[in-house]
Amino acid sequence: MNKKGFAVVEVVIAFSMLGVLLISLFGFVTFYRDKTRNEETRTKLLDFKNNITKIIYDDIVGEKIVKLEYCNGIAKCVNFKDHNNNQHVLQVVEDPLIEGVKKKGLYLNYDETMYMLPDSDLRDSNGYMCYFDDFMLQNYNDEIYSLRITFMHHGLNESFTINLTVN
């Protein structure tokens, strides 16, 4: 017999194999898309941490910061004082007014400049996607101060810490 063309069974098998291949490829692409998105988020958080650390350390070294203390009764606020008693204030602010517009998210306000915590404007069932977890100032003999600011990202299930030491 000299028949030309495909049998119905052959076409069904070919489409089934193509479907399995596409489903496998979709899972692979989804996995790497999520992995890339997580790495981008991790990079943004590390950049935030490094930028804040550099900005504050420039003042610590340049201004000769000699004392750190909590602001008057505010838990997530620290005054940095230099030897001339000039102050630099670092404070966590939630949904601030910036130029008359209310902005969503969590910010670090340092010397009246707002730095937004990446992904803090996004919310999930746990609240903020990224939030400040810990803000602790320790004093050792009125000579050495340690400030630790920890922020947590729900999507990455990872925490990042800014450690500042003044002596």
- Read off the pTM: 0.79
* Per-residue confidence band for 3, with pLDDT thresholds at 50, 70 and 90: low
pLDDT at 16 over 90: yes
Three-state DSSP class for residue 75: coil
Per-domain boundaries in the chain = 8-166
* Confidence at residue 17, expressed as pLDDT on a 0 to 100 scale: 92
84/48 Cα distance (integer angstroms): 29
Tracing tokens 């670092």 back to the chain, one arrives at 90
Nearest Cα neighbor of 94 from 125, 133, 121 is: 121
Look at residue 21 and give its three-state secondary structure.
helix
When the pLDDT of each residue in the chain is averaged and rounded to a whole number, the result is 88
pLDDT digits (tens, 9 = 90+) for 130-162: 999 889 999 887 778 899 999 999 888 899 999
Which distant-in-sequence residues (6+ apart) come within 8 Å of 74 by Cβ?
91
